[in-house]
Amino acid sequence: MKVVVQRVRRGRVSVDDRTVAEIGRGLMILVGVGHGDSESEANWLAEKCAVLRVFEDAEGKTNLSVKEVNGEALVVSQFTLHADTSKGRRPSFIKAADPKIAEPLVAHFAEHLAAQGVPTQLGVFGAHMLVEIDNDGPVTILLEREPSVGKSC
């Protein structure tokens, strides 16, 4: 599973010219589900996002999490994070999970993030969305968690 975390002043998602989710200061989180991903990866990444220290403290150092600044999160499904561009000019999305698997995992990620104390909104899975991101900094971080299935410790 891959997530792109962006520190934002505000974020908004619209579908068919209608706002479906909107946040103020917080995190825009783009989530890409790949083959083999499970609730385990979603939980780990949600917990990581909740405590990731990307907000400035009183001294201007990035020492605070979204929870500590009373921020919000907006989660958007982004299967294109699993694009394979190794051949030709057209990306392949064969590494992205089937929507029947991805949709509940993105929802689970958002629910688990909310359970960590971060007010969380969700885009519309599978819809053509207009995503507005007022990136603050800019701060953009890629987090990945490989599926743990079949791996030994």
Residues marked active site are found at 78-80
State how far the Cα of 129 lies from the Cα of 113, in Å rounded to an integer: 22
Give the relative orientation of helices 39-51 and 99-115 as an angle to the nearest 10 degrees: 40
Length of the chain counted residue by residue:
153
State how far the Cα of 63 lies from the Cα of 54, in Å rounded to an integer: 7
Whether the Cβ atoms of residue 75 and residue 13 lie closer than 8 Å to each other: no
